[in-house]
Amino acid sequence: MKRAAALLASLTLYAGVAGAQIIPKQFSVTTRLGTLIPERAASLDGQALIGIDAEYAISKYFGLGTAIDVSRGNTTRQDFLTRLRFGNAAVAGGDSIYYQFVGQPVNLVNLGVMGTLRYPGKRLTPFMTGGVGSYLLLPDAQINGKAMRKSDLSLTGGVGVWYKLSERAGLQLDVRAMQFQGYSRDFLNPAAGREVLVVPFPEDFEQPPAAKNTALNTMITLGFRYIPGGI
């Protein structure tokens, strides 16, 4: 995260001395690949991400469009502990108890409307972007025994830089913060409905951070930007 931010800052400084105009009323499409890093309290591991931005340039300084981001990762197993009982059911608790961390794959889709402010340079164009949308969490249906989904509001903001390769193409590096509203870590519990222990033996099992109703995610992506018709 710190290295990516430093790189963006360095490229932004060069933008002024590089000294491409962006013609208003044209569309651009950017395909992005990168990583999604959720905050620890979200109980999701880091995951690969693919994103697509479609933008209409209202002016050379401002654009409006949509963004979709899709990723697939796993829940953080040590945050979900369950107890399995074996043996004689007549014995209180059974005569054998096994503690197990459980996890599951989770698909994530985020769709948003984005606004972008930029300062065009001859080769480098730094920009700021922000928007609002909706996220969708899709846990593994086979593990849960049924199809499940959760959606709510998402807020996104970030900075980046676009490097011009030709009249129609360029590379884009950006860092975005995406916050999920109405978030529930319990929704990701693959052992829901079974005997799950919140604090069995704190001295033996590391406890997860306190649950939150929001989840902040960091996205770092490198993209290919294409402008039909040139710039």
What tens digit of pLDDT does each residue of 113-127 get? 999 999 998 899 999
What does the buried/exposed string (b/e) look like for 142-155 if buried means 16 or more CB atoms within 10 Å of the residue's CB?
Answer: eebeeebeeeeebb
Give the pLDDT band (50/70/90) at residue 63.
very high
User: How far apart, in whole angstroms, are the C-alpha atoms of residue 80 and residue 101?
Assistant: 6
State yes or no: pLDDT of 27 exceeds 70. yes
State yes or no: pLDDT of 15 exceeds 50. no
State yes or no: pLDDT of 158 exceeds 50. yes
Identify the residue with better confidence: 178 or 185.
Answer: 178
Q: Reduce the DSSP state of residue 15 to 3 states and report it.
A: helix
Cα dist. 129→15, 177, 202, 215 in Å? 17, 10, 43, 19
| pTM across the whole model | 0.80
Q: What is the pLDDT of residue 16?
A: 37
Q: What is the pLDDT of residue 202?
A: 62
- Mean predicted confidence (pLDDT) in 173-191: 93
Beta carbons of 154 and 181 less than 8 angstroms apart: yes
The one-letter amino acid code at 36 reads: L
* Mean pLDDT value across the chain: 84
User: How far apart, in whole angstroms, are the C-alpha atoms of residue 32 and residue 25?
Assistant: 23
State yes or no: pLDDT of 197 exceeds 60. no
Cα dist. 92→65, 82, 84, 201 in Å? 61, 17, 13, 19
State yes or no: pLDDT of 51 exceeds 70. yes
For the chain, the farthest-separated pair of C-alpha atoms sits apart, in whole angstroms, at: 81
> Is CATH 2.30.30.40 the right assignment for the domain spanning 2-226?
no
- Mean predicted confidence (pLDDT) in 180-197: 80
State yes or no: pLDDT of 33 exceeds 90. yes
Cα 213 vs. chain centroid, distance in angstroms? 16
User: How far apart, in whole angstroms, are the C-alpha atoms of residue 111 and residue 224?
Assistant: 19
- Which DSSP helix (H) or strand (E) runs through 163? strand 150-164
User: How far apart, in whole angstroms, are the C-alpha atoms of residue 154 and residue 69?
Assistant: 12
Q: What is the pLDDT of residue 143?
A: 83
User: How far apart, in whole angstroms, are the C-alpha atoms of residue 156 and residue 113?
Assistant: 9
Give the pLDDT band (50/70/90) at residue 142.
confident
Q: Reduce the DSSP state of residue 79 to 3 states and report it.
A: helix
Q: What is the pLDDT of residue 145?
A: 79
Cα dist. 51→40, 108, 159, 176, 225 in Å? 23, 12, 15, 12, 12
- Mean predicted confidence (pLDDT) in 7-20: 42
User: How far apart, in whole angstroms, are the C-alpha atoms of residue 194 and residue 119?
Assistant: 55
Q: What is the pLDDT of residue 59?
A: 93
